[in-house]
Amino acid sequence: DAKTTQPNSMESNEEEPVHLPCNHSTISGTDYIHWYRQLPSQGPEYVIHGLTSNVNNRMASLAIAEDRKSSTLILHRATLRDAAVYYCILRDGLSNYQLIWGAGTKLIIKP
Amino acid sequence: DAGVIQSPRHEVTEMGQEVTLRCKPISGHDYLFWYRQTMMRGLELLIYFNNNVPIDDSGMPEDRFSAKMPNASFSTLKIQPSEPRDSAVYFCASNPIEGNTEAFFGQGTRLTVV
């Protein structure tokens, strides 16, 4: 399974944009890039996913590099409720639906 | 839909006792996953089902762990006998079959074996 690399933690100020990076240099052509987050004492929650093109939804934006070896999750205006661990995961669109989890990035929001 | 429902939310048991964790997936979802989360190892996939059939149980730590899905709306994860190292948060998640869509997680069961 292709692996992802994320910083252990990041800090950001409230109401400012946050850019969470993820490296996935061994990504294959059929791998989708998924982002989940886990708030304290909660189950993981889906944020966004994409294959090649940038994606936007009500929660966030996903910017995917042209070579697909990296991606960035963008929270446009962070709030204290966005403090969580953010996981970048590659998921094979052809073989199965397993999610292989890394350590994620702990996002700290400063008021 | 109420989402993925897990019970109990918390379980404290003594070493050697049998523990059964329960999960009700979202109606219509054909995939069901059991995960375990600890500080040391993070989130680990234990087993997953497709249309009630176990597909991959390679993540199940040992024979003390077993999982069943008798019908599309119910699954159990059983640990017998339980050990202190089984203490963790256990999550259930479900996926619809249509394409590469989001997984929906339950709130988890926090298991403490003393």
Q: Name the residue facing A46 among B31, B45, B102 (closest C-beta).
A: B102
* pLDDT band of A91, cuts 50, 70, 90: confident
Q: How close, in Å, is residue B111 to chain A by CA atoms?
A: 13
- Residue B96 has a pLDDT of 82
Contact B55 A42 (CB under 8 A): no
pLDDT at A96 over 70: no
Q: How close, in Å, is residue A111 to chain B by CA atoms?
A: 27
Query: Using CA atoms, how far apart are residues A34 and A82, in angstroms rounded to an integer?
Result: 17
The number of helix segments (H) and strand segments (E) in chain A equals: 0, 9
For B:57-96, CB contacts with A below 8 A are 91, 93, 95
* pLDDT band of B100, cuts 50, 70, 90: low
Report pLDDT digits (tens) over A11-57: 999 999 999 999 999 998 888 899 999 999 999 999 999 999 999 99
Kindly list the residues of chain A whose beta carbon comes within 8 Å of any beta carbon in chain B: 32, 34, 36, 42-46, 49, 87, 91, 93, 96-104
- Residue A2 has a pLDDT of 59
Tell me if B54 sits within 8 A of B46, measured CB to CB.
Answer: no
Report pLDDT digits (tens) over B40-49: 888 999 999 9
Query: Using CA atoms, how far apart are residues A83 and A38, in angstroms rounded to an integer?
Result: 9
Contact A49 B42 (CB under 8 A): no
Report pLDDT digits (tens) over B49-86: 999 999 989 999 889 999 999 999 999 999 999 999 99
Residues from chain B contacting residue A98 (CB–CB below 8 Å): 33, 45, 48, 56
Mutation target to probe the A interface, by most A beta carbons within 10 A, among B43, B89, B98 is: B43
Q: Where are the beta strands (DSSP E) in chain B?
A: 5-7, 10-13, 19-24, 31-38, 42-50, 53-56, 65-71, 74-79, 88-95, 104-105, 109-113
